[in-house]
Amino acid sequence: MNKHLSQLIEIANLDKEIDSFEPRIGEVKKELNLIEEEENSLNREIEDLESASRDLSLSIQKNENHLEDLSLKLEEIANKTKLIRTEKESRALSLEEELAKEQITFANEEITRLNTLIDSKKDSINALKEQIDSLQVKQKEVAQKVEVEVQEIKDEQNKIFAQKEELVGKMDQKIISFYEKIRKWAKNSSVVPVTRQACGGCFIRINDKIYSDIIRSDDIITCPHCGRILYFQEENTNP
């Protein structure tokens, strides 16, 4: 086989191998990403609970303001009571007093109810914070493991890089740049074998003349249909 062609096949294989490392790194990091997502969603739950608590506190404040108004009102009624002249006035005032007292009872009950709700939100927040704490412990362990694994993969990747660099140094630079141009669009199918007399990239049939040139492997031949670099490979030897 033509030396340039066999180098191209080799370099294409190295590029394919280099590309195969990124998904492996992604796979290793997946566990870490899942933990981070879980932590984020717990934090969002806490934020929701805190915002609900703030709303409840505002409602309590409103009820407390109302209680102040009501106690002023009771004072007012007490002062008026001193000046009562008729039975009718007396009845009207005691009705007013009764109503104000009812409202005070209601506001106090409401404050108690709201405080209970706030307490239960606080409990939920604390439980979530505990979950986050243990998640962070786990996250640290996983991060350490992932770091080691990623480094291993990167070391392997660097070895292949070095092999590629070495090969590129030995190759004809015009051929390399020709290959890189094809690789821009054809990615890992820039150099493909011909199978059953069809291009391994676009799968269109190659005519007999070009096919016999490819079998002879004297030259670098590109697919007349798509432009990928083609080479002959004995069928069934490399399934």
Kindly list the residues in this chain that would bind Zn ion in the complex (CB under 5 A). Answer: 199, 201-202, 223, 225-226
Question: Whose Cβ is closer to Zn ion: residue 138's or residue 225's?
Answer: 225
Question: Whose Cβ is closer to Zn ion: residue 104's or residue 226's?
Answer: 226
Minimum gap (Å) between residue 199 Cβ and Zn ion: 3
Compute φ and ψ for 181, nearest 5 degrees: -65, -45
Minimum gap (Å) between residue 227 Cβ and Zn ion: 7
Question: Whose Cβ is closer to Zn ion: residue 182's or residue 223's?
Answer: 223
Question: Whose Cβ is closer to Zn ion: residue 159's or residue 187's?
Answer: 187
Minimum gap (Å) between residue 231 Cβ and Zn ion: 12
Task: Tell me the Ramachandran region of residue 236: left when phi exceeds 0, alpha when psi lies from -120 to 50, beta otherwise.
Answer: left
* Residue 205 per-residue DSSP state: B
Question: Whose Cβ is closer to Zn ion: residue 137's or residue 215's?
Answer: 215
Task: Extract the runs of DSSP E, i.e. beta strands, from the chain.
Answer: 191-195, 198-199, 221-222, 229-232
Token reading at 204: 């269109």
Minimum gap (Å) between residue 201 Cβ and Zn ion: 5
Minimum gap (Å) between residue 189 Cβ and Zn ion: 9
Interacting residues of 104 by C-beta distance below 8 A, sequence separation 6+: 67, 70, 71, 74
Q: Is 182 exposed, middle or buried (0-12, 13-18, 19+ CB in 10 A)?
A: buried
